[in-house]
Structure 1
Amino acid sequence: MRSKRTFDFVKTSRRFLIISAIITLLGIVIVSISGLNYGIDFSSGTSMDISTKKPVTEEKLRAFLDEQKIGEYTLTTAENRDSIRFKEALNENQEKDFKAAFSAQIDPDASYEINIVDVDIAREQQQSALIGMAIACLGIVIYVSIRFEWRFAISAVVSLIYSAFFVITMFSIFRLEVNLPFILAVLTIIGYAINDTVVIFDRIRENLRFAKIKTAADLDALVNKSVWQTLSRSINTVITVLIASVCLFIFGSESIKLFSLAMIFGLVAGAYSSIFIASQLWLYLKKRQPIKKVAVKPQSTP
């Protein structure tokens, strides 16, 4: 009996893998040329959040900041709360002078949240973030290798790298700030992506136990069947988390907007890579293994 499903994931996999490779190559070029817009977590500088008792216009605040001549800055304004990011790390005297001037010219009742990161701390946090991501990937390789086999592990890691690098590329294109919440978002994305991938791999392994694989076409049919059997679960999981991330991005505070945006990019990329990269790459590696022929015993003649 023919299946009513018309979309063939395996048949179209070559097209999607080529598209994924092109996106990755473009991402490498973009990140190499433009780099990343590091926040003060990964570059020296000063983050200053100011809460005021009365509203302050952006024009007035920019004029005040220009008068201080502290250096390059970025300003994000909200109702009674303004976020300023100075590219330079302020010393103790500069910090005191700034507070005194702000109290005299803008609001004497203002409160301040100041975070100063010097070059050494920024470099240390960069290294810690990279080590954390490397340990996470290594742990996934070990886990998938033990639970499944090395082909599953390689396919899973390639899929995860694609998802994470897609988010990095999007942040590079739109010059969005890369900070510690961004790293947390990437690690969370890796968790969701490996969950989707393991669900598909588990179904592939289960179907392999009862399938009689005689040709490459049988393997194609098995992967298609496994993806279809897990597709609704993967889509429902992604949509549920995606709705929450979109709501956080729209209604959340400024401090979690970039985290939410990274989650949105990563959830889409993770769902895509689990279906069109991980499972198809495993199929490619599996086909390189000789298919074991099942020996047929000759029937005895009476």
Structure 2
Amino acid sequence: MRRLKLVPEKTNIDFFKIALVTFGGSVVLTLASIILFVAIGLNYGIDFKGGTTIRVDSQTPIDTGKYRTALQPLKLGDVMITQVFDPTSSSEKHVAMVRVQAQSGQESITPATTQAIEAAIKKVDASATFPSIESVGPKVSGELIKTAVIAVLAAVAAIVFYIWLRFEWQFALGAVAATVHDVALTIGIFVVFQLKFDLSIVAAILTIVGYSINDTVVVFDRARENLIKYKKMPLRDVLNLSANETLSRTVMTSGTTLIALIALLVLGGDVIRNFVFAMTWGVIVGTYSSIYVAKNIVLQLGVKRDWSKPSDKNAGTNFSKGKA
């Protein structure tokens, strides 16, 4: 029985051959993403801008597509419609949440706008009722932004601490650089295309961070084994060998993940499209950074060869130049 092979079992690719283009390009794109974020800013969704949530109860199954089409002529801006399960409701009642962004800097939509929304939904669902209306002001939204930033930074800090304990500080810095690269480029593409940025995208970024680190750790783990095994091989060659030995695993893992994500991107609908797009982009840049960013940092810093020794005064100088 023949196995599917996306790449040959043995490859000999020099990943540092065009480092000026790959690593240099990553540095430029990361800086550009940060500048664009500061200069233009993200297109924040309701979670971060504030808005109003209208609960809709209906005796018929909720059709979010019809609701969205009915509300389009009102030009309300960012509108999110989700069907929810309410255990306190009877089995014959269906519940949906219609979330509308704050209008013209106000904390909530006006009564006239609320009536227009209810009338539009009534046209496509005569049994719809509106038992509650809740508003989220800019202050709460601002707190959500701070919490989201803290969540991302805490995740990165925990990962860096883990890498530092398991490997060496040079590997930790390489992992940090790769993670910053992935997060910055993800935010950058959302700035460029002005895609809605809400809490679901924060969840996607946290997932991207974990995925990228997992890929980086696989390469680093093999590099540590090879550094002990090939004590006289130059560090550049050891890192290239490690990346080549794990290339098949990297391609298979990323490839199968992308197949599922692309299917969701095409068939999943508008509700999850931005989330899936962020995940798809993150898998691509995360795989790229584990090969072309993290290893370059380790190469520049240098590492010790034998982990059985407690320290190595030459780490960071000798072996970065290929001396034994």
Deviates more, 1:117-126 or 1:227-236: 117-126
Contact 1:27/1:166 (CA < 8 Å) preserved in 2?
yes
Using the TM superposition, give the Cα deviation of residue 108 of structure 1 relative to its aligned residue in structure 2, in angstroms: 2.9
Using the TM superposition, give the Cα deviation of residue 246 of structure 1 relative to its aligned residue in structure 2, in angstroms: 1.1
Instruction: Describe the superposition over 1:70-95 as per-residue Cα deviations: whole angstroms up to 9, x where unpaired.
Output: xx5246899xx996633334369567
Q: Distance in 1 between matches of 2:154 and 2:215?
A: 20
Q: Distance in 1 between matches of 2:209 and 2:126?
A: 46
Instruction: Describe the superposition over 1:191-221 as per-residue Cα deviations: whole angstroms up to 9, x where unpaired.
Output: 110000000000000001111236xxx1111
SS in 2 for 1:46: strand
SS in 1 for 2:218: helix
1:86 matched to 2:104? The reply is no
1:237 matched to 2:256? The reply is no
Contact 1:189/1:263 (CA < 8 Å) preserved in 2?
yes
1:297 is aligned to none
1:148 matched to 2:143? The reply is no
Q: Distance in 2 between matches of 1:135 and 1:108?
A: 48
2:115 is aligned to 97
1:15 is aligned to 21
- Partner letter of residue 289 of structure 1? T
1:108 matched to 2:126? The reply is yes
Q: Distance in 2 between matches of 1:165 and 1:232?
A: 27
1:205 is aligned to 224
Q: 2:198 aligns with which of 161, 179, 189?
A: 179
Name the larger-Rg structure.
1
Q: Distance in 1 between matches of 2:79 and 2:46?
A: 14
Q: Distance in 1 between matches of 2:192 and 2:172?
A: 30
1:73 matched to 2:77? The reply is yes
1:26 is aligned to 32
Contact 2:79/2:99 (CA < 8 Å) preserved in 1?
yes
SS in 2 for 1:243: helix
Using the TM superposition, give the Cα deviation of residue 147 of structure 1 relative to its aligned residue in structure 2, in angstroms: 0.3
**Change in CA separation of 1:118 and 1:45 when aligned onto 2, cut-off 3 Å:** same
Contact 2:108/2:136 (CA < 8 Å) preserved in 1?
no
Q: Distance in 1 between matches of 2:64 and 2:39?
A: 43
1:69 is aligned to none
Contact 1:53/1:107 (CA < 8 Å) preserved in 2?
no
- Partner letter of residue 45 of structure 2? G
1:159 matched to 2:165? The reply is no
- Partner letter of residue 41 of structure 1? D
Deviates more, 1:12-21 or 1:275-284: 12-21
Using the TM superposition, give the Cα deviation of residue 111 of structure 1 relative to its aligned residue in structure 2, in angstroms: 5.8
Contact 1:103/1:109 (CA < 8 Å) preserved in 2?
no
**Change in CA separation of 1:57 and 1:38 when aligned onto 2, cut-off 3 Å:** closer
Using the TM superposition, give the Cα deviation of residue 125 of structure 1 relative to its aligned residue in structure 2, in angstroms: 0.9
1:39 is aligned to 45
Deviates more, 1:117-126 or 1:104-113: 104-113
Percent same amino acid among aligned pairs? 33
SS in 1 for 2:52: strand
Q: 1:260 aligns with which of 263, 268, 276?
A: 276
SS in 2 for 1:116: strand
Q: Distance in 1 between matches of 2:156 and 2:81?
A: 38
Q: Distance in 2 between matches of 1:238 and 1:193?
A: 10
Structure 1 segments unaligned to the other structure (5+ residues) = 67-71, 295-302
User: Between Structure 1 and Structure 2, which shows a larger proportion of helix residues?
Assistant: 1
Normalised by the length of structure 2, the TM-score is: 0.76
Structure 2 segments unaligned to the other structure (5+ residues) = 1-9, 57-61, 83-95, 304-315
- Partner letter of residue 250 of structure 1? V
Using the TM superposition, give the Cα deviation of residue 186 of structure 1 relative to its aligned residue in structure 2, in angstroms: 0.4
1:284 matched to 2:284? The reply is no
- Partner letter of residue 136 of structure 1? A
SS in 2 for 1:85: strand
2:88 is aligned to none
2:262 is aligned to 246
